[in-house]
Amino acid sequence: MNPISIDSLKIRIPLRRVEITNPTLLGNVVVQEIDQETGEYLDSKFKQRAVKFAEPDGCIGYELKALIYREQTLKGADDFLTLLVSSKTLESQYFSGITATTLPTLLAKLNSLDIGAISMEHLLEAKVSDIDFKRDWVALKDEMHSELKHWEPDFKPSQKKGIFLEYKNSKKIHMLRANDRHSSSHIGRPFFKVYSKQMELEINSPDFAKAHLSPDDYKNLYRFEFTVKNKRAFLENYGLNVFTLQDALNLTQEELKQIELASVSKNFTFHARELAMKNDISINVGICLSLIEKFRPDGYSFLDIYDAITGHMPSKTKRRWWSNFEEACNILATDKPDIVSKEEAEGISELLEFRSHYRSL
């Protein structure tokens, strides 16, 4: 699995710190109240009023949106340049996400557009909200389909609006989504989704993929994407003070992992999976070989077989079985590729890591 990084976010820079050059932006100031507790706009009109920068502006296969807000607070009014920025702005560095390393690329792109002159200092000091974080990994679709289907019975029920689980598997989409991104409770039940990034790029963003990526960059790629809505959600859910872009970039991988796993644990209570096979098993690669060879042709997924072997074992023993199972798959990929292909064998490690990472809460 790759590191966690920012996929998209909304940033706000005081207008007094930016030399705006776009007359459309300057003539389209929206007066808006701001929630001092969350740092977000009340009744935001961003989507309807934002100025879009797209292909004619050099944004091939994606959009960047900008708007000037006049924030109304008890202390008075202040104008802010508000930008909705995604990691697609990084173009060929898309999969790296928005990080301290890729920030110069992001800044250069912003300054190449007809927005205004933005400095690195002012970008880092920008207020942030609506942050989508992401983690990518490689897995085969059939295996992920089997795994995500097993998540459905463990979703915590709720009567609240926006709290739900949706699973889709078709030629057009392959995704598990917990809650509605806009209306769910980002304090009690955070939003997240798991989906095929390969399918999303091929279906929803083919122009972007063709212009900036190689098909090998996203072959069999899956993404776990989770949202932290605002500074209140950071503080109340995770005890973190995150208000500026610098704060967000300073989050450690361990802190991000805790946020990531909390987005799952607040929505799911995982139970031991019902085993499809009942066998007395001794610990050796030979047992893995025989079981994979026996049940794989019958349509059992690799994780079904792995669970049947390790279902009643303690966690430390399961971890040792991980390498046994991988070794068995590699042997079969060489000796009996009709049962386990080389591609499947190479993906087993990532798949088991996904299982261990998200279900061991």
Average pLDDT over residues 53-77: 87
pLDDT of res. 35:
63
* Whether the predicted pLDDT of 196 surpasses 90: yes
What integer best gives the mean pLDDT of the chain?
86
More reliable by pLDDT, 319 or 152: 152
Nearest CA-CA partner of 35 in 114, 127, 112, 102:
127
pLDDT of res. 86:
96
Cβ(79)–Cβ(14) below 8 Å:
yes
More reliable by pLDDT, 37 or 319: 319
DSSP string covering 262-282: HHHHTTB---PPPPS------
Read off the pLDDT band of 217 (50, 70, 90).
Answer: very high
* Whether the predicted pLDDT of 125 surpasses 90: yes
* Residue 206 token pair: 């083919």
13, β-bridge pairs: 81
3-state secondary structure of 146: helix
| Torsional class of 76: left (φ above 0), alpha (ψ -120 to 50), beta (otherwise) | left
Predicted confidence (pLDDT) per residue in 242-290, tens digit: 999 999 999 999 999 989 988 888 888 876 554 333 344 345 688 888 8
* Whether the predicted pLDDT of 165 surpasses 50: yes
Type of residue at 144: M
Cβ(267)–Cβ(258) below 8 Å:
no
Is the pTM value of this prediction over 0.75?
A: yes
Read off the pLDDT band of 10 (50, 70, 90).
Answer: very high
Cβ-Cβ contacts under 8 Å for 107 (sequence gap 6 or more): 118, 120, 123
Predicted confidence (pLDDT) per residue in 297-339, tens digit: 878 888 888 888 887 777 777 777 888 898 889 888 988 899 9
Of 31-35, 81-85, 108-112, the poorest mean pLDDT is in 31-35
Of 70-84, 109-123, 209-223, the poorest mean pLDDT is in 70-84
pLDDT of res. 101:
97
Type of residue at 216: D
Average pLDDT over residues 72-79: 77
Read off the pLDDT band of 59 (50, 70, 90).
Answer: very high
In the 8-state DSSP scheme, what is residue 272?
A: P
3-state secondary structure of 189: coil
3-state secondary structure of 101: coil
pLDDT of res. 250:
97
Average pLDDT over residues 25-41: 71
* Residue 274 token pair: 């019902």
* Whether the predicted pLDDT of 218 surpasses 50: yes
